[in-house]
């Protein structure tokens, strides 16, 4: 009987504790967890700033493989970028990037559907390069609420979140080291890369939408350039074209390896292309350039080596990027001697 009385007393005290927390516990929840990842800062940063990389390390994605994700109209990265989710274990929610200090801090708003509407909190991360790699501080702040069960959750959840954060950061370290931005081939390629400021330009070309890279053929280029000269010749605008020819990649999807691009020519001013051709303008920009020497089939290899070198400089590649075909295959039959200048913008320069 004595043991039973002790158990009852302890149970009573536990009930009193829970009731006390429910009525008088904290109305806010603050969680902060720090970990040093043995990975370079640019690679760690890319895992966070691009939401399409979150499944690589997110403990919630790992715990709910049936979770469905929809990315914002603004995209999956940068201010305004975000996604919403719906899963049998993770429930319904959404996250959006509120602010960014490049390479240092990212602030996000996160909402959870609690049954009577979305309730929002903040989720921020700070990054700092240290001798061992990258220090990451992961913060979560919520007003929680003053309801009985909300106050209890404000006490219970921090320890649970801390464990999830530790799991996520450990997985993030592995993902950062596994992704191509840490390629060992980057330093060798970096020797030939240049950082330049370039003027804006008009271009006119044949646009192709959502074409898999593997399906792009030489015949597409030949037909497109022929059509450019036919249309501009008929309009009397052919003298406005500027050699050499180019191609402009306006969008690229890593998951599907599909590209939206234009096989084009620069022009001294805007040219109307009618229904057959697209005209566009690329603003003045800072860019990384590299002269690829060799057949066009090996261009993708050069891009794979350029990206880690660009991120290692603390820069972010932007779209559209473009290629300038410096060598005419008609006059130089040896593909090993073909020169193609790759231009990847890293910052748009606004007119003063």
| 186 Cβ neighbours under 8 A, 6+ residues apart | 305, 308, 309, 312
Residue 147: pLDDT band with limits 50, 70, 90: very low
Query: Residue 132 burial by CB count (10 A; 0-12/13-18/19+): exposed, middle or buried?
Result: exposed
DSSP states along 187-227 = HHHHTT-EEEEE--EEEEEEEEEEEEGGG--HHHHHHHHHH
| pLDDT > 80? residue 20 | no
CATH code for residues 26-181: 3.30.530.20
pLDDT confidence of residue 1? 54
The more confidently predicted of residues 247 and 159 is: 247
- Give the pLDDT band of residue 137 (cuts 50, 70, 90): very high
For the chain, domain boundaries = 26-181, 190-348
Residue 25: the pLDDT is 42
Q: Assign domain 190-348 to a CATH class.
A: alpha beta
Q: How far is CA 205 from CA 21, 162, 226, 237, in A?
A: 67, 53, 10, 13
Least confident of 52-66, 136-150, 293-307: 136-150
Euclidean distance between CA atoms 105 and 56, whole angstroms: 20
Q: pLDDT: is 304 or 135 the higher one?
A: 135
Per-residue pLDDT, 160: 64
- Alpha-carbon distance of 277 to 225, in angstroms, equals 11
The label of the residue with tokens 């030949």 reads: 222
Residue 188 has pLDDT above 50, yes or no: no
In the structure, what pLDDT confidence band is assigned to residue 231 with cuts at 50, 70 and 90?
very high
Helix (H, G, I), strand (E, B) or coil at 107: strand
C-alpha of 62 from chain center: 20
Q: What integer best gives the mean pLDDT of the chain?
A: 81
Q: What is the pTM of this model?
A: 0.52
Higher pLDDT: 188 or 47? It is 47
Report whether pLDDT(43) > 50.
yes
Q: What percent of the chain has pLDDT over 70?
A: 81
Q: What is the pLDDT of residue 210?
A: 87
Q: With contact defined as beta carbons under 8 Å apart, do 253 and 260 qualify? A: no
pLDDT single digits (tens) 259-291 = 899 999 999 999 998 888 999 999 999 999 999
> Could you tell me the pLDDT band of residue 243, with boundaries at 50, 70 and 90?
very high
Here the tokens at position 321 are 């990027």
Summarize the confidence of residues 192-209 as an average pLDDT. Answer: 92
Tell me the pLDDT band of 224, cut-offs 50, 70 and 90: very high
Q: Do you find a cis peptide bond into 305, omega within 30 degrees of 0? A: no
Going by their DSSP bridges, the two strands 285-293 and 321-325 should be labelled as: unpaired
Specify the pairing of strand 133-142 against strand 258-267.
Answer: unpaired
DSSP for 137-194 reads EEEEEE---SSHHHHHHHHHHHHHHHHHHHHHHHHHHHHHHHSGGG-TTHHHHHTT-E
Question: Would you say the CATH fold of 190-348 matches that of 26-181?
Answer: no
**What pLDDT does 203 receive?**
97
């Amino acid at each position: 009987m004595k043991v039973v009385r002790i158990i009852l007393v302890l149970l009573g005290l536990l009930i009193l504790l829970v009731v006390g927390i429910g009525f008088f516990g904290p109305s806010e929840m603050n969680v902060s967890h720090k970990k040093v990842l043995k990975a370079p800062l640019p690679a760690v940063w890319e895992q966070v700033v691009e939401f399409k990389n979150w499944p690589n390390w997110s403990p919630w994605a790992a715990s709910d493989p049936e979770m469905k994700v929809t990315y914002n109209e603004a995209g999956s990265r940068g201010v305004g970028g975000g996604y919403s989710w719906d899963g049998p274990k993770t429930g319904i929610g959404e996250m959006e990037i509120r602010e960014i200090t490049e390479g240092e801090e990212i602030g996000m708003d996160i909402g959870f559907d609690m049954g009577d509407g979305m309730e929002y909190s903040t989720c921020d991360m700070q990054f700092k390069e240290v001798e061992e790699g990258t220090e990451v501080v992961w913060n979560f702040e919520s007003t929680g609420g003053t309801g009985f069960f909300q106050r209890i959750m404000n006490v219970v959840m921090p320890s649970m979140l801390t464990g999830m954060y530790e799991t996520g950061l450990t997985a993030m370290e592995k993902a950062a080291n596994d992704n191509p931005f840490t390629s060992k081939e980057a330093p060798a390629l970096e020797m030939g890369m240049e950082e330049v400021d370039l003027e804006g330009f008009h271009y006119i070309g044949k646009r192709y939408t959502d074409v898999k890279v593997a399906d792009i053929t030489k015949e597409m280029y030949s037909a497109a350039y022929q059509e450019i000269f036919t249309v501009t010749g008929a309009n009397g605008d052919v003298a406005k074209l500027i050699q050499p020819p180019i191609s402009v990649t306006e969008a690229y999807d890593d998951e599907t390896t599909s590209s939206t691009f234009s096989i084009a020519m620069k022009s001294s001013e805007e040219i109307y292309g009618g229904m057959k051709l697209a005209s566009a303008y690329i603003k003045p920009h800072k860019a990384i350039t590299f002269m690829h020497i060799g057949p066009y089939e090996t261009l993708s290899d050069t891009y794979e080596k350029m990206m880690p070198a660009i991120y290692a400089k603390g820069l972010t590649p932007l779209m559209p990027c473009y290629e300038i075909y410096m060598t005419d295959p008609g006059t130089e039959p040896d593909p090993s001697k073909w020169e193609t200048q790759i231009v990847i913008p890293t910052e748009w320069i606004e007119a003063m």
